[in-house]
Structure 1
Amino acid sequence: MNFKKTGVALAIAVSALAAGSVQAATVNAGTISGSYSTVFNVAQGVSFADTVNFSIASPSTLTGTAASLKLNFGSLSLLDIAGLTVNVWNNSHPFGTTNFGSFAGGTGSYTFNLPTAGDYHVDITGTATGAFGGTYAVGLQVAAVPEPETYAMLLAGLGVMGAIARRRKQNAA
């Protein structure tokens, strides 16, 4: 009989530990050439460490946002995330060695320069504090950084336009 009680107590203890443990979800977004967004749901009282792996085809500027999708009923918080934080890393998770920066969720958008084509990831952490857990969204937008040749062509085009304008002005006089 003591063996059954011990087994039940052990099962309850293990489930209680699992309820407060860190959850981890990994999403592979593939190659991003424009915008990407995803939504995560987290159980109540759980700390989480989620990851979005992605690739870029050329040096780019990454703009990132993250926000808790809050739901309140009067003074009762039904869905909420506390301490939402995002870190931008090189390589796929967990092999990142260079942190390009971090930002707090819900405080606007942040821009990072990603210097080479290849694999990157964002790590998102926080704790679900709502009565029914929490939901949050992450958005990533990638804009390619122009190559030096593009700037050279732009300057050459401006020079040609200036020469044409000057010639027209001289012919009008």
Structure 2
Amino acid sequence: MKLRQLLVSLAAALATAGAAQAATFDGATGAATVTSYSDASNLWFDIDFTSAGAVTLNFTVEAADLTGGLNFNSLVRNLSGLGFDQLVFSLSGATFSAPGTLATDGFQAIASQGWNAQQLWATFSPALTTEFYVGAPLGTGTDWTLSLAGAQVGDTFAITAAVPEPGAVAMLLAGFGVMGAMARRRRNAA
């Protein structure tokens, strides 16, 4: 009888424990609504922007996170009614160790895209008015892999998704143009 009660208690504990989380999600701050679908080794999110801006997803490293990379994907929705020219994901305290896919729902095209260890980005033509997929949130494509190399249990890291204002993108491009002109001028003067 006691063995049966023990087994029932153990089964109940396992049922209520649920799956372990990949890196403890400590919440989001910023200009979007975030829903987490994360599980044992996957950081999966829906991010709904109602205006241009940024949202930061904050995490605490768990022991299980240090044994390998974490898969990351996100479904990003534009609920603003305005087009987004660019989307940038930046990491702090983690790095991208393997690329995944970037895609739209097909109503707009990705004009350019790229990534490095700290960021991934995409620009759109025409401007994005619907959904964007980082990795495989709908089961097609490849998730991005995050590395926590050098991290310890209890450390924190963050993922920031940003949609710059159209004027900010124009100023950024103008700034790159000015820097290029200055470099040419210096090269020609030398």
TM-score (norm 2): 0.43
Q: Give 1 or 2 for the bigger CA radius of gyration.
A: 1
TM-score (norm 1): 0.47
Taking CA–CA contacts closer than 8 Å with sequence separation of 6 or more, which of the two structures ends up with the larger relative contact order?
A: 1
